[in-house]
Amino acid sequence: MRIVLALGGNALLRRSDPLTTEVQRRNIRVAAEAIAPLAEEHSVVVAHGNGPQVGLLSLQASAYPDAEPYPLDVLDAGTQGMIGYLIQQELRSLLPPGHQVATLLTMITVDPDDPAFAEPAKFVGPIYDKQTATELAAEHGWVFRQDGLAWRRVVPSPKPQQIVEIVPVKWLLAHGAVVICAGGGGIPTAMGVGSLTGVEAVIDKDFAAGLLAEQVHADLFLMATDVDGVYVHRGTPEQRRLDWVTPEELTGYEFAAGSMGPKVAAAARFTAGTGRRAAIGALTDIARVVAGNAGTNVVAGKENR
């Protein structure tokens, strides 16, 4: 079975974690311990988030006042390499010596006229108090929005259109490698006249991973996060977890745009377009989610439950 596994941000950095290499390595080691057994039995592609890391690199770059600010596409590329390296190293230490693991820098095209550019909404970077956010906005021209009780930077998040490196991704999979790609939603680019140009944006990793799952013909698109599935009526006496659901049934519910909303939309889109299963569940339950015994499973029809 071919599985595209999208690691949620909490697999790399929890909200309260310091942005250190050792903390990220420790969290990634936990993820690798869950992924390695799957990779020994199945063809596995790993995608991941990068919001905190993009924000950190942007802040580090701003420490050099005489240098031009690094554009988001370059920062996206940097985080792909950094996070991919950590995942790759941890997986290689757990898999048999002959099992290849490869990280591929991945560009994904977007539409320059996507409405998202007019309304930045994608959270990146660490949290701030209101005063610090106001000062950073004035200094760098960044846009901030409230995220819970704190404030975070927001950037445009256009929809992914085409994975530029899909051919080498498929080649690596055909040769038995675990492939780490489309990290952080891919490096956002736009197709010009015979050339690709970087775009100042961050593509949502769940939408990018869903496109990746479609294009590599995945049998399962699995989004691993820090909760055991998708809940409706959350925080009320009617709260319940969805176990098996169709894309059509999902349209009857509303989910938070900044958290579960993109995951639900990406899962529904993948299943509606391919007829194959998508799932959302806890990282620690990966094996049970793959077996269909945990998480929220999105299937094409009730007969597939």
- 159 is an active site residue: no
What are the residues whose beta carbons fall under 8 Å from the beta carbon of 298, sequence distance 6 or more? 245, 246, 247, 250, 267, 268, 270, 271, 277, 278, 279, 280
Q: Which residue among 27, 184, 185, 263 is the active-site one?
A: 263
Question: Residue for token digits 């197709």?
Answer: 191
Amino acid 104 reads L
Amino acid 216 reads V
Q: Which residue among 9, 49, 185, 295 is the active-site one?
A: 9
What are the residues whose beta carbons fall under 8 Å from the beta carbon of 241, sequence distance 6 or more? 228, 229, 230, 231, 296
Q: Which residue among 27, 49, 122, 184 is the active-site one?
A: 122
- 192 is an active site residue: no
Enumerate the β-bridge partners of residue 298: 245, 278
Q: Which residue among 205, 210, 229, 295 is the active-site one?
A: 205
Nearest C-alpha neighbor of 185 from the set 18, 54, 62, 21: 54
Nearest C-alpha neighbor of 200 from the set 187, 214, 213, 219: 187
Q: Which two tokens stand for residue 137?
A: 């906005």
- 302 is an active site residue: no
What are the catalytic residues? 9-10, 122, 205, 263
